Structure 1
Amino acid sequence: MSRHIKLAQKNEIGLVYQLIQEAFQEYDGKLDPPSGALRESEESISKKISELGGAIIVWEDTMPIGTALYDFTGEYMYIGRVSVVPDSRGQGIGKELILYLEALARERQLKTTRVGVRLSIPQNVIFYQRLGYQVLNHIFYPEGTDSWYVMQKNL
């Protein structure tokens, strides 16, 4: 089996959308407020990609198994919607997606990357800490039911 990551093309927006939906489905009805990932549409993803960023897809041979979105915001790259389908988790794919995007940020001469991580999903906070991300800000949802960290890594 061969795994590779590539930049998503405009005609793959539907695939990116499907991968995000599949990866975030486990949180449906479990987070308050609900995950914004489940409210994404092909149109919203296309808009994000066409403005200041893009998406990547990780493939296992000819099977897409993960994706992530990114955008260039000022002096850093923001990484979001990091998604690995449930059957492919636990194999280091999330880490591969992040390392690929960090390399892309370096190619763009950027010195930092940032992610947003909900505190109600503590395993994700630990995942990013292990990759060298540190808490930059702690932000609360208006409802007061949850909060998230903006985490940053210096490249």
Structure 2
Amino acid sequence: MVVRLALAADAASIQQLVRAAFVRYVPRIGREPAPMGVDYRVPVAEGRCRVVEHDGRVVGMVQCAARTGYLEVETIAVAEEARGLGVGTELLAYAEEQARELGLPEVRLYTNEAMTENLEYYPRRGFREIERATHHGYRRVFFAKPVG
């Protein structure tokens, strides 16, 4: 597996990956999760996306943005066939490394309350819940992890 900067040529693969990764949550949430509506050409062009390539295919992606005091993981997605291979862990490790390089003390992210798997996944990777709130009609759970 290789984590690399996403290129313009990857945007369509990222879009398909995100849609496939999040479509299972539509019935739980009652509408498409926010990442499904993003035009990934924009964050790719801005250099904010990294992908994981495995056997020549994009099987994971992370979109990050530096904020005041933290690095935000805006979207993270893993292909169904790559789940359990450590792709998500690799992408989160990249985000932590990026935060350290930028001199930011923590990584933050959020998930939808209905994505119950994530509510267990992130704490197992050292994230702690810091807030629950409704934004744009989505019930979100916010997490943070210090990156010493």
Shift of 1:17: 1.4
Distance 1:141 1:124 in 2: 18
Aligned counterpart, 1:137: 131
Aligned counterpart, 1:37: 35
Judge conservation of contact 1:28–1:38 (CA < 8 Å) in 2. Answer: no
Distance 2:10 2:144 in 1: 29
Equivalence map 1:43-62=2 (5 Å): 45-50=40-45, 54-62=48-56
Output the amino acid matched with 1:25: V
**Identity of paired residues, percent?**
22
What TM-score results when the alignment is normalised by the length of structure 1? Answer: 0.84
Match of 1:81 among 68, 75, 82: 75
Q: CA RMSD in A?
A: 1.9
- Is residue 103 from structure 1 mapped to residue 103 from structure 2 by the alignment? no
Distance 1:49 1:8 in 2: 6
Judge conservation of contact 1:119–1:125 (CA < 8 Å) in 2. Answer: yes
The C-alpha deviation readout for 1:104-126, integer Å capped at 9, x for no partner, is 11111111110011121121011
Q: How many residues align?
A: 147
* 3-state secondary structure, aligned to 2:48: strand
Output the amino acid matched with 1:118: N
Judge conservation of contact 1:5–1:59 (CA < 8 Å) in 2. Answer: yes
Judge conservation of contact 2:7–2:44 (CA < 8 Å) in 1. Answer: no
Output the amino acid matched with 1:46: R
Unaligned runs of at least 5 residues, structure 1:
none
Shift of 1:47: 3.0
Shift of 1:137: 1.4
